Amino acid sequence: MKILNVYFNNINSLAGENRIDFDKAPFVDAGVFAITGPNGSGKTSILDAISLALYGETFRFNKPAENVMTKNTAVCFAQVEFIVNGEKYRSSWQVKREDASPEGKIMAAQMQLMHVNGEDQIIEREAYKVLALNTEITGMDFRRFTRSIMLAQGDFAAFLNALDAERLDILERIISNDIYTDYKQQIHVLTKQAEQQLASLQVRLDEIDLMTDIQRETAELDLADQKLTFAELKQENTSLLQLQAGLQDLQKLEQNISQLERTQTEEQKKLVQAQADLVKIANATDVLAFKPGLDSVADKRVLIGQIHQQQATYQKDLQKIQDKLAVDGVDDSTLASLTRQDATLVQQKLSDLRAKTAQLKLDRQSEAALLNAIEAQLPDKQQTLSEVDSWLSDRKKDHILIENMPELGRLKNLRNLSVDIQKQLKTFNKLHKSSSYASTKNLKRLSVTEKEIASGKKSLEQLGHELEYIADGHSFEEFIALHQEQKERVANFVELFNLAKVHRSFVKKGFSKRYEHFDRAQLDKQLDAKNNQIESAQNIQQILEKAVYRERLTIKLAEDRTRLEYDTPCPLCGSLDHPYTRKSPAIYDSQKALNDQSATVKSLQNEARRIAQQLAAYMAVKDKNTEHAERINRVKTEWLTLCTRLNAVSDDFDITSFRAMNSRIKNEKQDLKEIAAVIKRFQAKKKEIAKMDVWVIKKQVQLERIQAKQKVLDESGQGRPQEIVNLEAELAKCMQEESTLTKLISTLLAELGEKLPGVGKEDGLYDLLSKRRQDYQSYSFRQKSLSDEVAQIMAKITASNELLHDLDQQFQALLAQIREQEIAQLYFAKLDLQSQLAGQEKSIAQLELELNQRLSALNVQLQQSNFQSLDEVQELIDLCVRKDEIQSLLLSLQESIVQYPAQIEALHRQLNAERENIATEETLESVVIKLRDKKVQMEIAQQEVNTLETSLQKQQQLQQENAQLIKHIEQQEISVQQMQEQQQKIDAEPENIFRRRVQTAVAEKLLVLTNSFLDKINGRYHVSSVPSELGLAIEIIDNKQQKSKRAVKSLSGGEAFVVSLAMALGLSEIANNGRAIDSLFIDEGFGNLDAETLYTVVTTLESLKAHGKTVGIISHVQGVKERIKAQIELIKEPNGMSRVIAQEY
């Protein structure tokens, strides 16, 4: 969540309307901004406005409407725009007084929530619903929001410096007592969710519908039957498709014969027409005499039409030119004196003039834009220059800082050097006085250390004897190898026990007794018998099919049999004596017998298929039992092999001796524990020896150090050391220089209106003077640059105006030339068109005269001939022209008509042959119907197959899902039991123990989040808890010092602030319920920070910007105001109210 802006009116001392946009400059680019102002100016009221707009209450007042409204006002409101997960919202709160009177009674508060992405949309207007929606959108109620947005850095500073026994109580006060209720509520909710999830899993398990073994076996057999049925239907469908193809070929042949017959008739009609046309041509031999005259008439008419069309186009162009000249108000008399020029030169001249006009227009636009831009800059520059001049005039005395900057740094160094020398003198004097005492004390320490070293060496010798007794002549590597060997032996005995359990489960499962009533030899015998019966039945079927074919052939040849004559050779075989000349052959009904035999074959095949399926099922069960027996033997063999390897074979120890195996496992594990105990004792004693050895070495090093120190003490003299004399001389010189420099600096500071700083305050004054010097210098440079810029702008404006005036004059002159040329061009074009129209009128008159003369001659010629009209003559001429084409068509038709009877006869023969090959009475329509029915049957069979396969696959998936659900239920039952036990423990345990446990859990979570933020800030420090009986003990881990551990008290002011800030950010993460808060505020902790620490603090806060955080510091400290550029400054007015100014320094 991020606050975008806040808009409020009459909140506490902030009278009137105020708006702060955090998503605009200067705050949008700043990681840290300050809310500054004197005490009581209303800095915290900005936070009140934010919380009022979101939750209708503040963390300072129980009744906000009565306490936050500015005195003597009638209305008060607060509005906040914020963004959550990319969605923007606007929440507002408002209260009014009755009758809009400042003395009226306060009315009920009103709230409104809007969604403002793209366009405003009101979500809710009722106050309690707005509060609920804001809590849902942000994920935080008012209590969590205030803990998240207000960083409790000051509280955590006290938390760090507190005693171990006080820290958990301080943490409780920071977070509030609600953590215990929240913790209990969270445990109850988690327990309820776990129970609901368990109930849901059990419901899902009950809803799974699994088949029994019998149902699954029946489904598998049904699937096999349906697949067989589908294969039979597919074969029948293939036969019908072949029959359909044959019938379609017959139909196509019949259609080809019909088409040839129709084509023959049409071409015979065309032949008759061609012969008639040729007769007409032969009778009209003199018609070609009319052709030249008719062709001439047609040409004249076409030419006249073209001239008329062109004349209409010229008339339109002429009218357009006249209209344009009339609009321009040009008189023809004024244009009569113009001289005609070459059209290409005129067009080129116009193009050049238009190009120059366009370029002038572009140049003027560019220059005008440049002038506007320059003129727009001038007022701002002049205003800025005036402000700079005024500023420099008010601060003339700061010019001294440019030429003669006070040497405050040197003064500070001299003062510090004087203090350091005095400290060194004090230290040397003290050392000199305590020299004899230190020597006596060091001799005592030397004696004690020597005795401790002797005692340590004696202890080392005793520990060596104890280690030899434990090892008993063995090395540590031998103990490790023995331990590993015993560990493997335990694992092998466990594997032995697991193999025995597997063997017991296999034996308990037993062998399948399905199909045990079947006899394989009998089934083989039945199958062979059925196959023999099928073979005999198929032979009979083939004989009957041949008989049916002969009967059909006999029927087909019945018509041809009438052509046989006595004593005349048969046209097929040439025999003189044909048996069928006297009587027809006998015809029997073999088709019925063939149908019955086909049904018998199919029945026998179904029975053979059933026997084969039974035989296959019997063999599958038998193979499965054989495999099961082999698995049992294999497990038993593995058990015996492992038992032999472990040397555990005996008469009373076999694969069913589970009690004996358990006993052996316990004994082996006990041996393993004893070996591990010996190794542990060996390692502990060795560690003790190493520890003692290190202790002795440390004591020896300490002894050497003490001896060296004693040597130095012995060598030191009893007189006054030369170092003290040198330091006293250096101190006198330093103080003399400091006095001279102080007088010079005091004189300069008096001219600047400043006082000489005290010891330790030189940096503050130096920073102030440096800022004044830098500001004066920057303003001087700015004054010079602004003056130069204003002069340049004025010169550019003058030059630009002159250039624009010249461009306007050139533009008008070019426009006048272009208009002149265009009018002249239009005038000459008008004269050309009028001349062309006059010439075309003469041409049309001449052509019409010639056309009339030609028509008169043709009419005279027509009267002298036998023809009735010129149209008839034209038709006969067209036939004469097509004479060769008609003759060629006639020959082609005669040739093709002769071939048609042979082609039709050939198709008839092919049709009869095809009919003989297709021995059926079925029609194409009936075959199509049968195919459609067969397709439906196949679809039904395929659907049955798909349904059964889907059902079996689903059953397999359901079995897997059932197993997974059972496993999940077992895990969930364990989880529910743990949650219930935890809930019962919470309900039963004493209040003080429960509170302490919750405090510890919150503290651990807080430390984890604190370290996460410390990694983001600088990565140097980590906070770690230390076991303590008093309470919560913590220490600091410094990663830059090889992860050395430091006490909290050792942290500097800046370091302590960084750690406490990270803790405050961690608490914000705990309170925000998993929703990131990117707008944070700090309202404490800056009053006691020195300049260096303040710099560290602000830099740390600015680094949070890289992680999307923006921090507002509420403070009245002057150092904060000087250090942070982006500020919201509250200025107190004489009437006690304050006004808000957002600015950047």
**Adjacent-strand bridge partners of 361:** none
Asked if the model's pLDDT at residue 719 lies above 50, the reply is no
CA count, 13 A, side-chain hemisphere, 421 = 19
* Tens digit of each residue's pLDDT (9 = 90 or more) over 887-913: 888 888 888 888 888 888 888 887 787
Q: To which residue do tokens 């560019």 refer?
A: 366
Give the least confident one: 400-409, 423-432, 542-551, 657-666: 423-432
Average of per-residue pLDDT across 935-951 = 88
pLDDT score at 1074: 59
Q: How many CB atoms lie within 10 A of CB 312?
A: 9
How far apart are the C-alpha atoms of 452 and 266, rounded to whole Å? 141
Alpha carbon distances (Å) from 1042 to 390, 1016, 1037, 1047:
58, 19, 9, 15
How far apart are the C-alpha atoms of 148 and 1075, rounded to whole Å? 10
For 962, the 3-state DSSP assignment is helix
Query: Phi/psi at 240 (nearest 5 deg)?
Result: -65, -35
How far apart are the C-alpha atoms of 1096 and 906, rounded to whole Å? 113
Query: Phi/psi at 94 (nearest 5 deg)?
Result: -150, 140
Asked if the model's pLDDT at residue 572 lies above 80, the reply is no
Strands 1033-1038 vs 1044-1046: parallel, antiparallel or unpaired: antiparallel
- Report residue 80's pLDDT band, with 50, 70 and 90 as the boundaries: very high
Give yes or no for a contact between 77 and 16, defined as CB atoms under 8 angstroms apart. Answer: no
- Report residue 7's pLDDT band, with 50, 70 and 90 as the boundaries: very high
* Tens digit of each residue's pLDDT (9 = 90 or more) over 610-646: 788 777 777 877 777 787 788 788 888 888 888 888 8
Phi-psi region of 101 (alpha: psi -120 to 50; beta: other; left: phi over 0): beta
* Tens digit of each residue's pLDDT (9 = 90 or more) over 359-408: 888 888 888 888 887 888 788 778 888 887 888 888 777 777 777 777 77
What percent of the chain stands above pLDDT 70? 87
Asked if the model's pLDDT at residue 716 lies above 60, the reply is no
pLDDT score at 717: 45
Alpha carbon distances (Å) from 365 to 802, 806, 1121:
14, 13, 49
pLDDT score at 899: 82
pLDDT score at 212: 67
Which of 289, 288, 319, 408 has its CA nearest to residue 760?
A: 408
How far apart are the C-alpha atoms of 1073 and 320, rounded to whole Å? 82
Asked if the model's pLDDT at residue 718 lies above 50, the reply is no
How far apart are the C-alpha atoms of 811 and 797, rounded to whole Å? 21
Alpha carbon distances (Å) from 752 to 167, 390, 742, 781, 1015:
51, 19, 15, 21, 47
pLDDT score at 514: 60
Strands in 1110-1115's sheet, in edge-to-edge order, are: 1079-1082, 1110-1115, 32-36, 1126-1132, 1138-1144
Which of 1072, 1070, 1071, 1046 has its CA nearest to residue 1059?
A: 1046
How far apart are the C-alpha atoms of 758 and 642, rounded to whole Å? 92
How far apart are the C-alpha atoms of 922 and 77, rounded to whole Å? 95
CA count, 13 A, side-chain hemisphere, 399 = 9
Give the least confident one: 652-666, 1031-1045, 1069-1083: 1069-1083
Which of 735, 757, 756 has its CA nearest to residue 419?
A: 735
Provide the token pair at 149: 């947005």
Alpha carbon distances (Å) from 358 to 366, 372, 416, 806, 824:
12, 21, 78, 15, 22
- Report residue 1100's pLDDT band, with 50, 70 and 90 as the boundaries: confident
- Report residue 79's pLDDT band, with 50, 70 and 90 as the boundaries: very high
* Helix, strand, coil fractions of the chain, as percent rounded to 5: 75, 10, 20
pTM above 0.85, yes or no: no
How far apart are the C-alpha atoms of 37 and 39, rounded to whole Å? 7
Which of 260, 175, 27, 124 has its CA nearest to residue 1067?
A: 175
What percent of the chain stands above pLDDT 90? 2
- Crossing angle (nearest 10°) for helices 153-161 and 164-175: 160
Asked if the model's pLDDT at residue 318 lies above 90, the reply is no
- Report residue 111's pLDDT band, with 50, 70 and 90 as the boundaries: very high
How far apart are the C-alpha atoms of 2 and 1111, rounded to whole Å? 11
